[in-house]
Structure 1
Amino acid sequence: MPKPDIFDLDRVTTVIKVEGTLVNETPLRVGSREEFAPGSPVDNPIIRRADGTVYIPGSSLKGVFRSFVEAYSQSAWSSGVHVCYPGVHKWVREKAPKGREAEGCDTVYCREDGVVESVCVPCYIFGWLDTAARLYVLDAPAEGSPAVGTRTMVSINRYFGGQQPGQLYTLDFVEPGARFKFRAFVYNLNFVEGEANDVKAKACQALKALFQALSRDGLFIGARKSIGLGLVRLVDARFDVYKIQGGSLVLSASRGLREVVG
């Protein structure tokens, strides 16, 4: 039996390096989950590195990216392509291994031994159970020392719809216009030049749609998104395609943002 396409990460054929700048167009807040220090003007500080550098965690970016690709996949391929939700769908094969019947989804196929042979587009890009991710997103540190402001918030009484007495709290956020260094790597999925295989072609389409949305209108990152905080846009991005030639990674193509997403 030939090796399924999803198991091609045992060797490197293509590496795409994405570099650019993220600019927050509205106040940005990614909380550190640390308790405030005595005397601190805020109740929960934004996340920083040990040296005080403000940054956007790669995990925060990747989580938003995956949510976008999941929604895009459901919209673009409404028939026969679904997102994997472990515990909701079943294996396609009826002879799934005992104890694993509730894992997988209706676009995941397994042999009788339970080995996954094909996955949906989001899982193909971001990984799922038996498959590794192809997209790696690094932390995005701020350039220089961006301005950090504070905002006093109120708690709302859910019964009366008004302010809850004595429940004021203060949060800090990065003021609009800060610049963050964005870096990501994509392995064995050449979405810059295109792929012929069906699942790879769809994954390329989804990644292009992601970067198009991120660069044109932006995506919301971090906390308080529903009140307009965290709108971040990608600018000045480049996509460098490296391929294996003679045992070395050699630059094969370099494209600007507009050349890739249109």
Structure 2
Amino acid sequence: MLLDKFHNRYIVKGTIVAETPIHIGAGNESIDPVETENAVIKDKDGKPYIPGSSLKGALRSWLEIFLRGSGSKLVGEKKTCLIVDKPCIDPSDKEIKKWLEEIKEKYEGKDDADRFVAEEIYRKLCPICRVFGSHYFASKITINDCRLKDEKTYIETRDRVAIDRDTGTASQGKKYDFEQVAAGTKFDFYMTADNLDEENEKILKIIIKVLESGNFTVGGKTSIGLGRIKLCDAKVYRIDQNSLESYLFNGLSEEMGWQYV
């Protein structure tokens, strides 16, 4: 199902709770000796948040691995690609380039030629690329930045000792510190998914369930136990062509609720 016209929209709302401290780095190191070396990302008001792009990227990476393994049969027979290493439609691949030229020639001069070409490309995509996007298609999923639910900010500074890679022991006199958002911190969660078919719906259900499990991690330093989050109080709504007008004029309602279990 393409994105050229409205068919349906799924909205997932809830609360993300930090089960363990979270560190999503700001991408810069301070040169101020009284500041921490590795700060967490903050908004313009100095409050930490979880970037929607970081959460979406972590979900995609997890799904690519999961659906290539034990979950491979959950969303059909087509094998899931690894978008970074080997995308299902690699624009640099000679065979792919040839195939793209052939399908463009096939529909050249026909009404809705662009749509027919897009449908051919979409059919060749793996289940993950159909939902999360590829070189040729926009993502069907959008995750907003997860902002703090409470006014009070809980940021801790943690000290660590550098490890010598050769000996596996602590390096003498080498310490570093970093910021982390405290466990128990709560963030708003809001995700939309557009024009999902039955296969896409299965992926959405997996996303919701893995977030609800409390075993999903986001951010850095996960190897030392950081970044475990849990989706709580999730509510999922489905808007289709029959309920679109009501949604636009009156907002979400209980009648639009969608069962994902």
TM bucket normalised to smaller: 0.7 to 0.9
Distance 1:17 1:216 in 2: 19
In structure 1, C-alpha distance between the alignment counterparts of 2:22 and 2:167, rounded to whole Å: 30
- Counterparts of 1:131-170 in structure 2, within 5 Å, are 131-143=137-149, 144-170=151-177
SS at match of 1:242: strand
What corresponds to 2:102 in structure 1? 112
Shift of 1:212: 0.6
1:101 aligns with 2:94: yes
Q: Give CA-to-partner distance per residue, 1:187-229, whole Å, 9 cap, x none.
A: 011xxxxxxxxxx333222221121111023310111111110
Is this contact kept in 1: 2:78–2:126, CA < 8 A?
Answer: no
Match of 1:176 in 2: 183
* Residues 221-261 of structure 1, C-alpha deviations (whole Å, 9 max, x = no match): 11111111010000011112112349736356214xxx42x
SS in 1 for 2:172: strand
Gaps of at least 5 residues in structure 2 are 105-116
Q: 1:89 to 1:47 in 2, by over 3 A?
A: closer
What residue in structure 2 maps to residue 224 of structure 1?
221
| TM-score, structure 1 as length reference | 0.79
Give the secondary structure class of the aligned counterpart of 1:129.
coil
Counterpart of 1:130 in structure 2 is 136
The answer to whether the 8 Å contact 2:122/2:130 transfers is no
Question: Which residue in 2 is equivalent to 1:195?
Answer: none
> Structure 2 counterpart of 1:242, which letter?
I
**What letter matches 2:72 in structure 1?**
W
The 3 A distance-change label for structure 1 pair 113 and 84 is farther
Gaps of 5+ in 1: 190-199
Contact 2:64 / 2:128 at 8 angstroms: preserved in 1? yes
Closer/same/farther in 2, CA of residues 184 and 63 from structure 1, 3 Å limit: same
- Tell me which amino acid in the other structure corresponds to 1:68: W
For 1:192, the equivalent position in structure 2 comes to: none
Please provide the CA RMSD for this pair.
2.7
* Structure (1 or 2) with the greater strand fraction: 1
Alpha-carbon contact 1:43-1:170 (below 8 Å) kept = yes
* 1:254 maps to 2:257: yes
Local SS of the residue matching 2:47: coil
Are the structure 2 counterparts of residues 29 and 102 from structure 1 closer, same or farther at C-alpha, using a change threshold of 3 Å?
Answer: farther
Match of 1:66 in 2: 60
The answer (yes or no) to whether the contact 2:81–2:87 under 8 Å persists in 1 is no
Identify the match of residue 81 of structure 2 among 73, 80, 83.
Answer: 83
CA shift for structure 1 position 185: 0.6
Superposed displacement of residue 66, structure 1: 0.4
